[in-house]
Amino acid sequence: MIIYLTGFMTSGKSTVGPILANVLGLDFYDLDEEIVKREGMSIVDIFEQKGESYFRKVETRLLKEISNNDDVIISLGGGTITIDENLKFMKENGFIVYLKVDNETLYRRLKNKTDRPLFKDLVMNENGKEEFIKRINNLLDKRSRYYEQADLTIECDSRPVGLTVDRIAQSIQRKINEKNKH
């Protein structure tokens, strides 16, 4: 079984993933961390030095490579699912879980992070909340149609991590049982 965790940056994929993997007895991979290891530079540096399209190519290659493993949970980057090739591949090969978080929570989590290429300029220039929310909305407008194609959507704004993990694990177990009945 392959489970893909998707959602906007700072939605909790890298936090929920290892705990969920432990609960379900699966291996865990953070796609962004794997890219950093392979490329020997941060995501921000890759974006700045080699460009987003280079990053997306590496991301797609590693997504497919890691998906060759059985029994894994893969935490995706926020934009991974927006590449049609990736979305099609994940739908054919695994179970996609969308961690949905409201804009207010995303703003609180992003406002001081300089390791997010698409928000670094706002943090460095100390832009106000309005600019952050506007950019979050713009990105969500572009990405929502991809996120919403997930097999399971879990709202995880203010819910403790343990409850989020329990809900995902129970839902996945139900889906597996339904599949096995057919």
> CA-CA distance, 179 to 153, in Å (whole number)?
18
Contacts of 126 (CB under 8 A, 6+ apart): none
Check: CB of residue 175 under 8 Å from CB of residue 47.
no
* Residue 116, marked binder: yes
* Residue 13, marked binder: yes
* Residue 153, marked binder: no
* Residue 78, marked binder: yes
* Residue 32, marked binder: yes
Q: In the numeric block, which tokens belong to residue 93?
A: 């090969």
Reported in sequence order, the residue ranges of 55-106 that DSSP labels E, i.e. its strands, are: 72-75, 95-100
* Residue 14, marked binder: yes
* Residue 27, marked binder: no
CB atoms near residue 5 (< 10 Å):
28
- Residues shown for the chain: 182
CB atoms near residue 129 (< 10 Å):
12
* Residue 56, marked binder: yes
* Residue 15, marked binder: yes
> CA-CA distance, 179 to 164, in Å (whole number)?
23
Binding site: which residues? 10-15, 32, 56, 78, 116, 143, 159
Binding site for Mg(2+): which residues? 14
Binding site for ATP: which residues? 10-15, 116, 159
Binding site for substrate: which residues? 32, 56, 78, 143
